[in-house]
Chain A
Amino acid sequence: MPRLPLPRTVLPRRLPLGSPFPLLLLACSFALAAYAGVRLFADDWFGVALWIVGSALLHDLVLVPLYGLADRVVVRGLGAAGQRGRTPYVRVPAALSLLLLLVWFPLISGMTAQRYQLATGLSPDGFLTRWLLITAALFGGSALLLAFRVRRAAKQRPPASH
């Protein structure tokens, strides 16, 4: 039976192998990962797979776009007010505060308060207050720094430019 000649672009091109050293290295890496992975997935494979794949997806498809968007809103908002250069004075304290919230969320939100108190004998109440105080200090410090720099810039301006 005569074969119809297909245009070259439609034919699936064979994937080239690539360089051999990385290939070998990745094979070794996968072998070790599989050896440990079999044990990691032994008890609750679905739960663990959900956590590993889910954490990568949650980070890359939710967390990163979310803080990228938040940053863009701040930059655009300040830009609209003609203050784009002052973005860092908002961005830095906000980023640091959110970082602390992200890392210590179970303690700050109080979601483990009961177990925490019963296990350690410590009060679970201070975390939210302390995080809020640190946040206030970060924004306060940033505002003071901005005020200081604006003042200094005004002083250094030659009087003729008024």
Chain B
Amino acid sequence: MAAGQAGRQRFVMGGAPFSGRPAAYGRDMRDPSRLPTSPGFWRSPLRGTWFTSVLGLVLLVGITVLFVTGLVSYAAYNPDLSPVNDMTPDKGVLGFYLFAWPSGPVWLYRFTQGLHVTLGVTLVPVLLAKLWSVVPKLFTLPPARSVTHALERISLLLLVGGGLFEFTTGVLNVQLDYVFPGSFYPLHFYGAWVFFAAFLAHAALKTPTALRAVRHRVRDESELAAPCPDAPTVSRRGALGLVGGGSLLLFLTTVGQSLGGPFRRTALLAPHGTADPGGGPNGFQINKTAAYAGVTAADTHEDNWRLVVTGRTGTVRLSRARLLQLPLHSASLPIACVEGWSTADQWWHGVRLRDLAALVGYDGDPPDVLVESLQSHGAFRRAALRANQVADGRSLLALYVNGEELSPDHGHPARIIVPAAPGVLNTKWVARLTFGDL
């Protein structure tokens, strides 16, 4: 009922006799309102403090969550454990908060990173609408009323440029479109700090105004509102509804890739939506196939492949047959990628990492481990796991998944699976394990 009435109201409002005032045609070419630096140039009746404030407050909460979950994801890689995990060795004090990433609850990284990516995608229309609502301020004259004002405008360039940079690199990276100038990890991480520095200042300066505007429903009396607006075709609430609808549409067509199971079918446009590769026990999402990683059948053949385990008491070389004679254990764990997609829990079966540590002299006191893959390229073909991850009884060198041997694309003959760790630390096609303090 309410929707119908609102719709009719809009219909009547928009259908009111068009004023017929030939706004643009009648004006002289020298009319200053033809220039974007003139307030009169901007005609949309939607712009105003209230509209911008609502969007700004949504972004205040949303971007804070994005920043925190981003920092959490950075910590999840354990970059301070070993240089092989650290894509940003020059981080300095920006890694001040790092901590040993826990090995539970098993869905931890699945949740934080699914939230980071899904929320980021969902906020795109809010960001665009917010930027649209303040675009006249870009052209305001004079360029600076005071030193503070000048600095604030420079800071806005970092805010807008940095924000667009973060959203763009994130959205491109999850689609494997690596066109940005450098490696994703340092760009997105340092870019986030540049952006967040400007974001903090902007939030501190503007939040009081925004809260006041929303609380007291301030409408038009602002520099954001057009002085001589066109007749509206939609109300401000209606416009917010469109922004919210855009967010909802993006959310509904994306979130399924992080929920997995039957929901994956609903993620119509997300990179890991709609379908699983192949069928059967190995038919779940793949980050990088064997072909992509440059791993051949000859590399992993029973006759050629040996697992080399090194530790306090020396080195042992184990064939797959020998591994199968060790005590085998099971764990139900998901794969959760930095790109935001994840799988439901898969049933893994293999040798506990702490049992392998015991084989080389660490009985009861498992240390860190450096894992090396057969893959010829890829940033994480070598990865380090911390002692608490090795000690967890659910951390396996998996040989089977869902009751079947691992497929080549899931890391045959053996792969790491660790609870709550980012997917890329679950090294596939494992060739060497080096236990010891890193």
Contacts and interface: CB of A to CB of B under 8 A. Distances in A.
Nearest to A32: B197
Interface stretch (B66-74, B76-84, B142-150, B320-328): B142-150
A88 B147 contact: no
A26 B200 CA distance: 9
Given A22-B205, A106-B172, A120 B271 contact: yes
B72 to A, nearest CB: 18
B358 interface: no
A112 B88 CA distance: 26
Task: Classify chain B's interface size.
Answer: 35 or more
Interface stretch (B26-34, B156-164, B215-223): B156-164
Contacts of B148: 17-19, 22-23, 26
A100 B252 CA distance: 12
Given A18-B148, A50-B181, A29 B268 contact: no
Given A36-B193, A36-B197, A106-B177, A121 B250 contact: no
Contacts of A108: 269
B271 to A, nearest CB: 6
Interface stretch (B273-281, B302-310, B397-405): B273-281
A126 interface: yes
Contacts of B16: 85
A37 B234 CA distance: 41
Contact of B198 (A33, A39, A60): A33
A39 B186 contact: yes
A86 B124 contact: no
B165 A55 contact: yes
B147 A121 contact: no
B277 A100 contact: no
Interface string A113-124: 001101111110
Interface stretch (B57-65, B90-98, B418-426): B90-98
Given A25-B201, A48-B182, A121-B409, A40 B253 contact: no
Main secondary structure of the interface of B (DSSP, over half): helix
Nearest to B277: A121
Contacts of B131: 59-60, 64
Contact of A37 (B150, B152, B172, B194): B194
A149 B187 contact: no
Contacts, number: 234
Contacts of A18: 145-149
Interface string B175-201: 111001111001100110110011011
A52 B161 contact: yes
A136 interface: no
A84 B230 CA distance: 12
For B132, B168, B187, B269, the residue with the greatest tally of chain A CB atoms inside 10 Å of its CB is: B269
Contact of B157 (A56, A100, A106): A56
A149 B15 CA distance: 14
Contacts of A107: 175, 269, 271
Shortest Cβ-Cβ A-B pairs, 5 listed? A47-B181, A18-B148, A18-B146, A85-B14, A36-B193
27 contacts: A15-B144, A16-B146, A17-B147, A27-B151, A29-B200, A30-B155, A35-B92, A52-B162, A55-B161, A56-B157, A56-B164, A59-B164, A85-B11, A87-B234, A91-B233, A96-B245, A103-B124, A103-B250, A104-B175, A104-B269, A106-B172, A106-B177, A107-B271, A112-B175, A121-B278, A122-B275, A126-B275
Given A103-B250, A118-B291, 12 more contacts: A15-B150, A17-B147, A47-B181, A50-B181, A51-B168, A52-B162, A82-B18, A85-B12, A96-B246, A121-B286, A126-B274, A153-B8
